[in-house]
Structure 1
Amino acid sequence: MDNIAGTKSSLVWAVNIAVVVLVLLWTIPTFGLLVSSFRDRDQIATTGWWSSLFPHEASLRFRIGDAETQRQEGEVFVIDGSVFEAGGTVSAFGTSNRDPAAHEPGEVVDFGDGISGTVNEDGSYRVTSPVAFEGRSPRLFVTSVTPPRFTLENYDRVLFAQGLGRAFLNTMTVTIPATVIPILVAAFAAYALAWMEFPGRSLLIASVVGLLVVPLQLALIPLLQLHNAIGIGKDYLGIWLAHSAFGLPLAIYLLRNYMVGLPREIIESARVDGATDFQIFLKIILPLSFPALASFAIFQFLWTWNDLLIATVFLGNTQDQLVMTGVLRELLGSRGGDWEILAASAFVSISVPLVVFFAMQKYLVRGLLAGSVK
């Protein structure tokens, strides 16, 4: 009886569990990235985001000051300071890596050669010597407990980075035309493939489907050589055409499937009334196809906004043409070890796409289901 229309499947619980699992697989890492974007750099390097609300224990190793920071007090020379930059609590310390927690905070320790010192619970230390410090100063090993620290400095570095404002305008200059152009071209092509009879139509449809699986990396160098040959290399026109070319197969396929599912009676009635193909396309097909157009616009906008590869190849890396992803890449440095900058940059870069997505999300599912039901 489970296969009868209108009855509820016994496996609906499995579907619900699968959906919940998929949502968690996407949401949990994103939430972790959001938490990390507000965390201190040192804590990101030592603990995971899931422990961000709790104090954590860490082992620190450092050399106390140097000969230039010493001062003389009576008959002894003193080097003092603090092991913390932003606060914490010392639970133990030592003078050797063999036993880094040998002493309690406040205990005076003999370093040898008349040198003695101590580390207090608040992280302050004081080391004294009967003679002036020369060469390398003594080492300290500290076991500390630091409270959770959150900061806006990561976003401050990203939002006020040099050239980011210009890069934002460059990204908008690239993204908006690269989204509009393929939609305009694909709409005409999709209508022709859906409702106009001409020789070779099936072959063209098969070619469009085949182009969907072609990796864009295969066409980068030949297309760049073509752009350079005709004089549009390293220019906005070149990258507009490149993004449009790479997005057209999906756009044509998506819009054609949607238009094929539109009621044939409406189009035939318009033709009986004397409407031309252009009038049918402009006054009937386009308004009815808005969900599919909006669905592709979301995909194309997100892809173009977050692109770095095509922008690097077809636009270049000059300060006047650098896009946001290029500026954020430079903030990470050559080794990419600034995880706090990476996390903050991720949320800065997705701010505009999120606005676009939530503004047009109601059309997304309707567009994706294009052509599935007659």
Structure 2
Amino acid sequence: MTTVSAPAPVGLEAGAPPRSLAGRIVDRLGSGVVQVVMVLLGLFWLVPTLGLLVVSLRSVQVNSAEGWWTIFTKPAELTIENYSNLLASGFTASFWNTVAITVPTTILVIGIAAMAAYAFAWMEFPGRDTLFLVVVGLLIVPIQIALIPIASFYGGIGIFGSIPGVVLFHVAFGLPFAIFLLRNFFVGIPASLLEAARMDGASEWKIFASVVFPLGKPAIASLGIFQFLWVWNDMLIALVFANPGSQPMTKALQSQMRQFGSNVDILSSGAFMSLIIPLVLFFAFQRYFVQGMMAGSVK
């Protein structure tokens, strides 16, 4: 007589041990309920940004008397006067200084690091591994120990307080992490692709530009987002190396903190202007950001 065993429960293979509570929770992470919860958490994370926007669009008197959430019942209190005062205060120059510092820094770091990472990943030259270890070692060097020597050096060559001086400092300290990140991504590219390109007569530069760089777009986009945000939000380097004519927004806002009680309108509108660009950048390139974060996790 043949005995027919009962079918295994759905989601559980025959003979497999029972799933733990944590395992069952993980299995349900793709459910609609969890997705709704994640959306709600994301909206909750944006509440401070919404509050900052509302504060920047109301007068100082109203902000002092009421909380920002009262705007839902009093929308007539919104005004763009704060932004008009902000632009009249000279903040526009600081905004363009921030752009002039952040954009060249991001482009230079990506370009130099991508070429260096390709060399470390796929080119043979004497001392390659030792030099890469030196680059990795530079990751633990704190910025603070270089401030005084670099400031003295900049003063000697006449670029202290200028935008190029700030850009060069950011590039120098951004390269170690950038090279490390891209090199670890580039080594995961199939060697057969590079060998096929070499057999077709492609030079190393052609291989880098036509094969490696396009395949590395997810990691490069992630690096670009990280680097842009680091430089855009930096204050330490700006405080040390930027003078009033080259100061970015972070330093301009910091200079207003001494009078916080009387110029919250300038601070709130300036803070939102400095915040909105990184938010737009992140949401515009979030697909590449996620791909870059996941790159290399599965071989």
State the aligned residue count. Answer: 277
CA contact (8 A) 1:295 1:368 kept: yes
Q: Distance in 1 between matches of 2:25 and 2:257?
A: 50
Superposed displacement of residue 333, structure 1: 5.0
Per chain length, whose mean CA-contact separation is higher, i.e. which structure has more relative contact order (CA < 8 Å, sep 6+)?
2
Superposed displacement of residue 52, structure 1: 4.2
Normalising by structure 1, report the TM-score.
0.64
Identity, % of aligned positions: 47
CA contact (8 A) 1:257 1:370 kept: no
After superposition, the CA RMSD in angstroms is 3.1
Query: In the alignment, which residue of structure 2 is the partner of 1:118?
Result: none
CA contact (8 A) 2:118 2:186 kept: yes
Could you give the per-residue CA deviations for residues 190-227 of structure 1, whole angstroms, max 9, x where no partner exists? 11121123454444444434433443233222222222
Distance 1:27 1:9, change over 3 A: same
Superposed displacement of residue 243, structure 1: 0.9
Please state if 1:39 is matched with 2:58. yes
Query: In the alignment, which residue of structure 2 is the partner of 1:28?
Result: 47
For 1:50, which of 66, 69, 80 is the aligned residue? 69
CA contact (8 A) 2:94 2:246 kept: yes
Could you give the per-residue CA deviations for residues 145-169 of structure 1, whole angstroms, max 9, x where no partner exists? xx984332222222x2232333333
Q: Which runs of 5+ in 1 are unaligned?
A: 56-146
Q: Which runs of 5+ in 2 are unaligned?
A: 1-10
Distance 1:14 1:336, change over 3 A: farther
Q: Distance in 1 between matches of 2:284 and 2:247?
A: 27
Secondary structure of 2:114 counterpart? helix
Letter of the aligned partner of 2:78 in structure 1? F
CA contact (8 A) 2:161 2:246 kept: no
Query: In the alignment, which residue of structure 1 is the partner of 2:285?
Result: 360
Q: Distance in 2 between matches of 1:161 and 1:333?
A: 18
Structure having the larger proportion of residues in helix = 2
Query: In the alignment, which residue of structure 2 is the partner of 1:347?
Result: 272
Query: In the alignment, which residue of structure 2 is the partner of 1:335?
Result: 259
Using the TM superposition, name which of 13-22 and 250-259 deviates more. 13-22
Query: In the alignment, which residue of structure 2 is the partner of 1:88?
Result: none
Superposed displacement of residue 47, structure 1: 4.0
Secondary structure of 1:233 counterpart? coil
Normalising by structure 2, report the TM-score.
0.78
Letter of the aligned partner of 2:50 in structure 1? F
Letter of the aligned partner of 2:166 in structure 1? I
Please state if 1:11 is matched with 2:11. no
Secondary structure of 2:201 counterpart? coil
Secondary structure of 2:181 counterpart? helix
Letter of the aligned partner of 2:298 in structure 1? V
Please state if 1:155 is matched with 2:79. no
- Which protein shows a greater Rg? 1
CA contact (8 A) 2:102 2:232 kept: yes
